[in-house]
Amino acid sequence: MYTIRKVELNDDLQKVSKMIAAEHRTMLGKTIEQVMREVGKRLSFGAFLHKKEMIGYISFHLWEQNVIEVGGLVVDPPFRGKGIAKKLIARITCLTRKEFPDCKIFILSKNPAALQAFRKNGYKECSHEELLRFLEPVDPWEECRKKRCPCWENGGYRGCKMTAMIIPSS
Ligand SMILES: CC(C)(COP(=O)(O)OP(=O)(O)OC[C@H]1O[C@@H](n2cnc3c(N)ncnc32)[C@H](O)[C@@H]1OP(=O)(O)O)[C@@H](O)C(=O)NCCC(=O)NCCS
């Protein structure tokens, strides 16, 4: 049986880095220091087998101007297809809505299973233009521009292959 809870600094954070590194085709890597920073700020949840073994991870980034990006979602391959991603998303979304009630929440992903798991938690697809309007003045592609990410070389956010999803304001 697995449990979902906040990740603590004494959990196996190397495993988080390893799970993310194994997905380098679809995810940006995270150093152990980056993972420690987000765990230290209480910005992440994990799924744990027998309360200890980390088998899934999710975190969020608090942008300026009341904007939250949920991301870093990964589940250890042997445990996929059991609803763990959906539960991690449910927990982090519930926490962000409670602690930051005025925040605008969004994701960018190109993984079909991740998109489906977010859909099941009330996230709705939107175009990149709609996302920019929803988040204004925050521009989620700012980092891509700074780092000359391939999406930026292909015509700015229009070249981005990620699907955008938001929690529509009620
Ligand atoms: C994406 C990921 C986290 C999903 O984890 P998971 O625990 O297996 O997901 P869940 O079991 O909660 O299922 C998610 C949903 O996706 C569906 N799904 C699975 N594979 C799918 C696919 N190839 N295409 C579309 N939907 C798919 C499942 O059926 C389920 O939907 P349902 O409730 O309608 O049946 C996992 O595959 C992973 O770690 N992938 C690599 C990392 C990655 O790309 N992360 C996304 C970064 S945003």
Alpha-carbon distance of 123 to 38, in angstroms, equals: 23
pLDDT value at 49 more than 80: yes
Which pLDDT score is estimated for 14? 95
Give the range among 99-108, 130-139, 144-153 with minimum mean pLDDT.
144-153
Q: Identify which of 48, 60, 75 to mutate to test ligand 1's pocket (most ligand atoms within 8 A of the CB).
A: 75
Average pLDDT (51-72) is 93
* Both structure tokens of 4: 């979902």
Which pLDDT score is estimated for 1? 86
* Distance of CA 29 from the midpoint of ligand 1 (Å): 19
Which pLDDT score is estimated for 148? 76
Which pLDDT score is estimated for 142? 86
Q: Which ligand 1 atom is the nearest neighbour of the CA of 26?
A: 44
Q: What is the pLDDT of residues 126-137, one digit of tens each?
A: 999 999 999 999
* Distance of CA 21 from the midpoint of ligand 1 (Å): 18
Which pLDDT score is estimated for 135? 94
Q: Which domains does the chain have, with CATH numbers?
A: 2-166 (3.40.630.30)
* Distance of CA 117 from the midpoint of ligand 1 (Å): 6
Which pLDDT score is estimated for 170? 66
The mean pLDDT of the chain is 92
The predicted model scores a pTM of 0.94
